Structure 1
Amino acid sequence: MISILIVEDEAPIRELLRISLKEAGYECTCAADGDEAADILIRKRFDLVLLDIMLPGANGYELLEFVRPMEIPVIFLTAKGEVADKVKGLRMGAEDYITKPFELAELLARVETVLRRYHKAEEILTCGTVKVDLRSHRVMRNSEPVSLTAKEYELLVLFLRNKNIALYRDRIYEEVWQEEYTGNSRTVDLHVQRIRKKLGLEEQITAVYKIGYRLEEKE
């Protein structure tokens, strides 16, 4: 499961972020100040850090310097909305800069984008006996090749890059078909059924009520 460290000194915002990200399928750890965050980062590896700038103890800029050698992507999430602050944060190495107040949907979309960009160098994706070689576009199941259509392949890769995360139907459609979602969920459903059957993922790809689908894989 993708693990995110939330560094935010305001308890209501911190808890809102934790609950929202957990519901989206992420594992979350929270820190209320920069010094606590540094201690946590020494003990545990994370896939992403959501970082406020104005913090007790070490501030966000100082913590970014601490995180950078660890090669963990950082998104600044802060009330400092001046252009100069954004430029400074991005030039220091932050992957994105979100100004408070923010919409949760936008935050989740930016988190997904950063994680996808950061992990785009992956060449092999796996789930159980299913393996995808991104360089050759070869799909294997139990070491045997499986033939997928272009859309089935893109759908599978989307699931594999977002394991244990609930994906909305509109996001699936817009990512795979590259056009605006108009409510025609049948296209998505049919393609999901086909890759489930072809790859034996009937139990792993589960429907999420009123949302879409999730590829589940136990750690």
Structure 2
Amino acid sequence: MKALIVEDDIAINDLICMNLRDMGFICTSAHDGLTAANLLEKESFDFALLDIMLPHIDGYELLEYTRQLGIPVIFITAKSSIQDRVKGLKLGADDYIVKPFAISELTARVEAVLRRYNKGKKILSLEDVEINTESRQVTKRGEVIDLTLKEYELLVMLVNNKNMALFRETLFERIWGSNFMGETRTLDLHIQRLRKKLGWEDKIKTVYKIGYRLEV
């Protein structure tokens, strides 16, 4: 799993990365908000740790980037007032850790957030559908559903971000790995086939002028 660590204190950034790598994560570091924003546009991440007080672009603005991509976020910051915590959580952060913190607390919070998103599991389950992320096999009520690679990747992304509206351009760029040029036919056809194969016509919702949401 890939983690983006955005912290301008190099020593803290290095310490976090070292411990997350020991847990098996692939870590990418950024020491300012602009670098982090560029990385979010070019690469895919499973979660992000964001400082709030960053050069160029602060953590609150970066949070908008991550929300559009459906990436879980934990704020790591010296801003410790109740007002700051409430603001971060209301804006959409999944958790909030105040410096100084114990590494054991940080890793426990990362694991808790990823559990809520079903990230890192070998078996993803949603009602009567199971996804084995090792074999890439999808079953519904025990019967194997034949999905193409892109249909499978779309399904995993929707399940990992259930009840969240995902932008068409985000889905296209994450699944097809190329820049979104405004043409949605390919994505829309894959969504239609996925709905039909899973019988999820009432679950994969079209969100007007945005994209799609798996509603459960």
TM over 0.5, yes or no?
yes
Matched-pair contact (CA < 8 Å) for 2:40–2:65: no
Query: Aligned pair in 2 of structure 1 residues 129, 72: CA closer, same or farther (>3 Å)?
Result: closer
Any stretches of 5+ residues in structure 2 without a counterpart? 145-216
Per the alignment, in what secondary structure is the counterpart of residue 4 of structure 1? strand
Q: Which residue of 1 aligns with 2:103?
A: 104
Residues matched between the structures, number? 138
Structure 1 CA distance, aligned partners of 2:64 and 2:29? Answer: 19
- Structure 2 residue identity aligned to 1:33: D
Q: Which residue of 1 aligns with 2:43?
A: 44
Structure 2 CA distance, aligned partners of 1:34 and 1:83? Answer: 24
Superposed, 1:47-62 pairs within 5 Å as: 47-62=46-61
Q: Which residue of 1 aligns with 2:81?
A: 82
Task: Choose 1 or 2 for highest CA Rg.
Answer: 1
The CA deviation at 1:65 is 1.4
Per the alignment, in what secondary structure is the counterpart of residue 114 of structure 1? helix
Superposed, 1:107-146 pairs within 5 Å as: 107-119=106-118, 122-123=125-126, 124-126=130-132, 128=134
- Which ranges of 4 or more aligned residues in structure 1 deviate by more than 6 Å? 130-133
Q: Which residue of 1 aligns with 2:17?
A: 18
Query: Aligned pair in 2 of structure 1 residues 132, 104: CA closer, same or farther (>3 Å)?
Result: farther
- Structure 2 residue identity aligned to 1:17: I
The CA deviation at 1:93 is 0.2
Q: Which residue of 2 aligns with 1:174?
A: none
Structure 2 CA distance, aligned partners of 1:78 and 1:67? Answer: 17
Structure 1 CA distance, aligned partners of 2:4 and 2:53? Answer: 16
Per the alignment, in what secondary structure is the counterpart of residue 74 of structure 2? strand
Per the alignment, in what secondary structure is the counterpart of residue 41 of structure 1? helix
- Structure 1 residue identity aligned to 2:7: E
% identical equivalent positions: 49
Per the alignment, in what secondary structure is the counterpart of residue 101 of structure 2? coil
- Structure 2 residue identity aligned to 1:126: N
The CA deviation at 1:71 is 0.8
Per the alignment, in what secondary structure is the counterpart of residue 34 of structure 2? helix
Q: Which residue of 2 aligns with 1:73?
A: 72
Matched-pair contact (CA < 8 Å) for 2:7–2:13: yes
- Structure 1 residue identity aligned to 2:103: L
Are 2:2 and 1:3 equivalent residues in the alignment? yes
Superposed, 1:171-190 pairs within 5 Å as: none
Structure 1 CA distance, aligned partners of 2:134 and 2:65? Answer: 36
- Structure 2 residue identity aligned to 1:31: A
CA shift digits 1:11-32 (9 cap, x unpaired)? 0000000100000111100000
Structure 2 CA distance, aligned partners of 1:28 and 1:128? Answer: 21
